Every structure is written in structure tokens, then in C-alpha cells.
Structure 1
């Protein structure tokens, strides 16, 4: 299970902002794609 602490949250937010700055986006019509994108972003 993933621990949600300050360090994890900061890492997740930073990766999300970095992704947005790169111009990547989500296809909101695909809920499975959202989960894959989030976990892929956090894993990188």
C-alpha cells in the first residue's frame, strides 16, 4: 500500500506539474487511461 505522507504528496504534485508543462494531457473519456497515466507518472 502507498503511504500518503508529505514527501509522497510533494513528489506527486511536482510530477503532475512537470507533466502539464510538457504539454501532456489526459483523455478524460477513458477512466482506465486516467489511472494508468497517474500511476505511470508517479512511477517515473
Structure 2
């Protein structure tokens, strides 16, 4: 039972963060020129 609670405590914020991250990536994809790749996005996000 504790494992299920622990899973929810970890999973819910993780899913929320992934949702926000995917929205951010989608927004940047729309803004970025068509030629830009995922690797360029990763490089720019590291700065």
C-alpha cells in the first residue's frame, strides 16, 4: 500500500513537469525555424 502512495507522490509531479516541458518544447518548435533540430534545442536549453 505504501508503494502505491509513494508512486503517486513521485508520478504526479513528474507527469506535471513533463506536461509543462512538452508545452515548452511545442512552443519553441513553433517559434524556431523549420531547420532547427532537437540537438540544437538541447544545446540551447543547457545554457
TM-score, normalised to structure 2's length?
A: 0.44
- Which structure's CA Rg is the greater one? 2
| Structure with the larger helix share | 2
TM-score, normalised to structure 1's length?
A: 0.46
Greater relative contact order, per chain length (Cα 8 Å cut-off, separation 6+)? 1
